[in-house]
Structure 1
């Protein structure tokens, strides 16, 4: 069974913060090192400073101890927009379709609510291709970050 075949999301709690900070550090290390921006303390502290469990879900894979990943979807500006942030998977699970499955489920919820979604990804990150395959397009970029946007679904006329 692949990781994408069996996974669940559960609401995050305050107790998830440190395991998720460690997960973030592992997931982001290659991109941060490539950009010359890796800092062992800062990579964890940024999640600690921004952690909002009420908007965060923990990805669990049966038989696997601890979180397999997480993602946060929170209301953002302009109204009618969600910010997708803190989407991390254990690097051991990359390339197995889990990220695609989790992202697809999150975007289906956003679409059902008629909401646009924004996010940012580090320059050169392979995750950018995942987001672009799911309808995200370039909004802006700087030397470190790429800001992507996925519009709300078009309203369908009622018959």
Structure 2
């Protein structure tokens, strides 16, 4: 369907807020409805209230908007907090989420920083995070807190590495 696709991360900008708020509403709708927590206004407003262009990266595929992710310092200063990691439905299921997450985790490992995140109860995204080394820390009826300890880098990253990658085709080949 898409063939080989280039992806990149670019710094977030204040004018990205509405596209990201809308993406959040689309991507989280089914899980929030299942949990009895979907509110058409609140799902967007929670993103707007906490949006930080400084800590947000926009995921682009072939130069177009494909998602976003925020990585900010954790409240206690001990590590990083990953949030607002959303991909457009058309960008899902092709390895993009794994590629972006691995890039962010490599950065965290270089800084020897643990990474925490919250995933909704029953969300399919939890499998991705657990495959990449996140483990259970705590939960409530709606959210599950996961943490990943930093890993010792196995060698230096190539000099001049850019935040670009190749996705596998939509048919998995």
TM-score by length of 1: 0.90
Bigger mean CA offset, 146-155 vs 52-61: 146-155
Please say if residues 3 and 93 of structure 1, whose CA atoms lie closer than 8 Å, have aligned partners that are also in contact: no
Moved over 6 A (4+): none
Can you give the 5+ residue segments of structure 2 that lack an aligned partner in the other structure? 155-173
Please say if residues 80 and 114 of structure 1, whose CA atoms lie closer than 8 Å, have aligned partners that are also in contact: no
Relative contact order, higher structure (CA 8 A, sep 6+): 2
Match of 2:118 in 1: 120
Please say if residues 4 and 101 of structure 1, whose CA atoms lie closer than 8 Å, have aligned partners that are also in contact: no
CA-based RMSD: 1.9
Match of 1:42 in 2: 42
In structure 2, the CA distance between the partners of 1:110 and 1:122, relative to structure 1 (3 Å rule), is: same
**Displacement of 1:3:** 7.8
**Displacement of 1:5:** 4.3
Match of 1:151 in 2: 149
Match of 1:81 in 2: 79
Q: Are positions 1:8 and 2:8 aligned together? A: yes
**Displacement of 1:78:** 3.6
SS at match of 1:83: strand
**Displacement of 1:36:** 1.2
TM-score by length of 2: 0.83
Please say if residues 134 and 146 of structure 2, whose CA atoms lie closer than 8 Å, have aligned partners that are also in contact: yes
In structure 2, the CA distance between the partners of 1:3 and 1:73, relative to structure 1 (3 Å rule), is: farther
Match of 2:136 in 1: 138
CA distance in 2, matches of 1:78, 1:139: 16
Higher helix share: 1
SS at match of 1:130: helix
